[in-house]
Chains A and B, each alone.
Chain A
């Protein structure tokens, strides 16, 4: 065996060994991160399925079944019975379904407004020439920096004043629009930014072709630009939807009627401060997490792509 051959052999072995180690380390880290991220959800699910007698013990059981060797055979041994009792209580005691529907209405409408208005403004700021363009963009982005709480009290006062007037349904207490309009405004700069960044990446030839084919500028916008901006629309819709679904301070302040509460407020107000019915709370929490988990599984690629377009090119 020549010197070169043997050298090549050892280095290949080393590389293989190093590769295996690296791979183990890599998958180990990923597994650790996934576990750290998802353990609380697992624990909530497990707690929600436990009977009360199992919930308030220490130490707690980690699995409903264990495997024991009995008569030389591996057998499943039940540690505690699983029950849906907590779910029944949660649904009977509080309108969890109603809360979820309220959240869905508010979040969808907010996402819709931000997609439409954000696309319009983003298009103007990216593709049109007009005076004071930079100033307009800076004003819109500046709104991001303003704390939500400094907008809470005036809007609350406004809602009280408009209660019972013709504007009540638009901005009174316990009106969906009373949450939708502020949420849409708070996320608007973000929507405009995503669309502006996205439109900046589109080739100018796209519009020229449309104009030469006899479309008006408005026609170009609706027939050409909007159809190709689906990715930006999806990203904006998803991120705004998650924001509106999660918001708490405004929802707590503006929705005083139980039937109008969103899921975050509904769950925050479950149970008293000192005597918490943890079985039903964990059941309600888990029900609120299911739509989110489905949402994340379906849309996470879009979220990552959208961030790439919006933030990466900032």
Chain B
């Protein structure tokens, strides 16, 4: 952050006026730091303005207007105030989707966090074959969500699924169970699949956090006779807090925006049992794009609500977990 100033302080400490003068001269001759900063940052800022900030504003704007007509892009839309929101909030499917998304997010993320931390503690050790084990364990994280959905749709197939097969063999089930055709079971299955996939991502982040904790803290704790559990509670957990904050934000926001998994696994069904908010939004926007009714306007309203909830979730995390003095 303040590296350039540290550099100059070093030089002043050296007391070499000549060096300083030469440095200043080069700065004058070529380009100032500010100019360089503007040149280096402009592309990124333009990018974010065009593809991140403008669309958000446009989504909010569109949510206050009648639908957009694809065939007649020039036809002006009409301002309707909060009408789209009224329609959204009186739609039972919207509230159902909100419930599905909240359940999916707030059940899967804490479990992933605990499993991921355990896995990271396991992977922290050096052992034979670590390289392959780590690659295999991290593989689910790299797996495309929608392909993951296809894989599990086959593994959980109502008639020939291997999960049923295994459960029958060990005696838990007596016949194949149609996990994805029962509303409750489908939601639990979807949540479990995401835990399977993302625990490895959590482990990755936790591994990074663990490796930033200096070893000498553990050494001195051991010399003081602290048990493993004490070391974990009094060193690992507090120092891991910033990592946990990052992990929670990194996982909660995508989980709240789940789309590929329900799309590929169940298509949102049975009924609407696994229709998440984003799946609802996508269906609202693209499956009924009438000129005045619903369509992009309703989709935009739903997207705006998702944005608001995501920001509130992020804010709550930062407010409860952020400790500026830790680092």
Contacts and interface: CB of A to CB of B under 8 A. Distances in A.
Contacts of A120: 40-41, 43-44
Interface residues of B, number: 113
A65 interface: no
B80 interface: no
Contacts of A117: 43-44, 47
Interface string B192-211: 00001000100011011101
Contacts of B293: none
Interface in B6-42: 6-7, 10-11, 19, 22-23, 26-27, 29-31, 33-34, 36-38, 40-41
B179 interface: no
A88 interface: no
Interface string A226-259: 0000000000000000100110110011000000
B171 to A, nearest CB: 13
B51 A152 contact: no
A121 B44 CA distance: 7
Given A56-B160, A181-B51, A278-B154, A312 B208 contact: yes
B54 interface: yes
A148 B257 contact: yes
Nearest to A271: B150
Interface in A29-59: 29-30, 33-34, 36-38, 40-41, 43-44, 47, 55-59
Given A43-B155, A117-B44, A217 B37 contact: no
B134 A300 contact: yes
Interface residues of A, number: 111
Contact of A155 (B51, B212, B263, B286): B51
A40 B152 contact: yes
Interface of B is mostly: helix
Interface string A151-191: 11111010011000000000000000000011011101100
Contacts of A182: 51
A289 interface: yes
A313 B212 contact: yes
Interface stretch (A5-13, A75-83, A136-144): A136-144
A216 B31 contact: yes
Given A57-B160, A128-B33, A246-B145, A150 B135 contact: no
Max count, chain B CB within 10 A of own CB: residue among A121, A139, A301: A121
Interface string A281-314: 1100100110011011100110110011011111
A292 B150 contact: no
Contacts of A208: 7, 10-11, 23
A268 B150 CA distance: 7
Max count, chain A CB within 10 A of own CB: residue among B135, B281, B299: B135
Contacts of A30: 122, 127, 133
B147 A249 contact: no
Contacts of B131: 300-301
A247 to B, nearest CB: 8
A292 B148 CA distance: 13
B95 interface: no
A212 B19 contact: yes
A44 B165 contact: no
A252 to B, nearest CB: 8
B282 A149 contact: yes
A145 interface: yes
Interface in B36-71: 36-38, 40-41, 43-45, 47-48, 50-56, 58-59, 62, 68, 70
A40 B151 CA distance: 7
Interface stretch (B82-90, B102-110, B230-238, B300-308): B300-308
Given A37-B136, A242-B142, A154 B50 contact: no
Nearest to A134: B1
Interface of B: 1, 3-7, 10-11, 19, 22-23, 26-27, 29-31, 33-34, 36-38, 40-41, 43-45, 47-48, 50-56, 58-59, 62, 68, 70, 73, 119, 122, 125, 127, 131-140, 142-147, 149-155, 157, 159-160, 162, 164-165, 168-169, 176, 196, 200, 204-205, 207-209, 211-212, 242-243, 246, 249, 253, 256-257, 259-260, 263-264, 267, 278, 281-282, 285-286, 296, 299-300, 303-304, 306-307, 310-311, 314
Given A34-B137, A204-B4, A270-B150, 16 more contacts: A117-B43, A124-B37, A128-B36, A128-B37, A129-B34, A154-B58, A182-B51, A199-B3, A204-B10, A211-B26, A248-B144, A264-B145, A285-B151, A292-B139, A304-B208, A308-B211
